[in-house]
Amino acid sequence: MKKILYLFFCLYLLGILNIVCAQDDSSQNRAKIIYIKIPDSQVFNKPVYIGESIQVTYSLLLFSNARFVGTEFVGGIDTHKLVLKNPDTKWKLTSDGSYKAIYEYKIKSLDASIPPLKVMAISSDGDYSDSSIAPAINLNVIDLYQNQKYAGVVASEFDILGYKTKTYDNLNNILVFEAEARQSNLEDLKLPDIVKQGFESIHVGDESSDGIYYCIIPKNVQNISFEYFSLKDNRFKDVTLPIIASDDTISTQDDIKPKNNFLLFSNLVTVGFMIVFLILYFLLGRKRIFLIIFGLFLIYLLWNIFSRHEAVLLANKHIRILPTYNSTILETTKSNMEVEVIGKHDQYYKIVTNDDKVGWVNKNDVK
């Protein structure tokens, strides 16, 4: 009896193995329905730099009306070494019938590499699925921080649009400058040998980035010098800013902060237009359109006048560059100060002092 049961069990196992093998053979004999490649993988033999962003173009083919399912990185991405900047990029159909996607990666460490990318598809009848893998890309990463003057930025172009220095306290000055860079990692800017520094504001775009940067420096420092790496010229370039302290309001450009004379001029222009349209109303048959335009200008004038009001900024309160808690302090009031409120944002008022300095203060600091 035991021999019969043993024989039956062996036959059962053989049957299962035959079914599995048959399925494997069937799957292997089926034609592939998806294929991926990297057309220009040779370009990554050249050096790349920590902080640099590189683009990898993937080309994908679907066969037999297969349906694309999705992608995944084999083994995932170590974000301490590499960052995918556009994870939501779409595959676009090209004129030759293939699909193309451009992934942009930011290099963060010397041992960064781009992991294999797996793409998946399902057959038109939904009967089976298939996949294809683009191989990993090994990178020749160079660390630029061996240069002691390097400020951490690689860029095809880097420009200082404007800068200004102001007394910060008895021992230090504050330098504020506006920087613009193309094809860069401007967000990683960090000047060497300066303890307190950072961005007041920054806009990071696909091609161009810009920001307002500040740093606190000792009063005995005559200039600041740092270097960025030019991708266009493949070398370090020097940036030097002389330190000349002034008592003016910190600004990288005059038009960053509105002036009272501009507001007065705009009001006079508005009144001028009102008079013109009122005259046209009486001269051209009292057409209603002129009266409507006159009314719109009147509303704008009243809003422009009454949106500004006098207030008192309390003693020992901070006036900041931007309406954020961590923003650089322009000035701390020693006593109550009369100011004019010209705008607001969240919990902050934009104010003008009697000496035409413009800044932001907390609403609770004003009465």
What's the pLDDT at 357? 72
Relative to beta strand 197-204, strand 208-218 is: antiparallel
Instruction: Quickly list H helices, the chain.
Output: 2-29, 260-283, 288-306
The pLDDT tens digits along the chain (367 residues) read 555 555 555 555 555 555 544 444 444 567 899 999 999 877 788 999 999 999 999 999 999 999 999 999 999 999 999 999 999 999 999 999 999 999 999 999 999 999 999 999 999 999 999 999 999 999 999 999 999 999 999 999 999 999 989 887 778 888 999 999 999 999 999 999 998 899 988 999 989 999 999 999 999 999 999 999 999 999 999 999 999 877 544 443 333 344 455 566 677 788 888 888 888 878 877 778 878 888 888 887 777 666 657 889 999 999 887 777 767 777 889 999 988 887 777 888 888 888 777 788 999 998 8
Question: CA quadruple 314, 318, 323, 325: dihedral positive or negative?
Answer: negative
Alpha-carbon dihedral 297, 298, 303, 306, rounded to 10 degrees? 140
Q: What are phi and psi of 354, to 5 degrees?
A: -65, -25
Of 320, 310, 312, 328, the closest CA to residue 347 belongs to 320
Strand partners, 210: 180, 203
In the chain, domain spans: 34-142, 145-255, 258-365
Residues paired with residue 349 on neighbouring β-strands, in sequence order: 344, 361
Domain 258-365 bears CATH identifier 2.30.30.40: yes
Give 34-142's CATH code, choosing from 3.50.50.60, 2.60.40.420, 3.40.50.300, 2.60.40.740: 2.60.40.740
The residue whose two tokens read 């008079």 is 275
Decide if domain 145-255 falls under CATH 3.40.50. no
pTM of the model: 0.64
Common-topology check for domains 34-142 and 145-255: yes
Vertex 290: Cα angle to 286 and 293 (nearest 5): 155
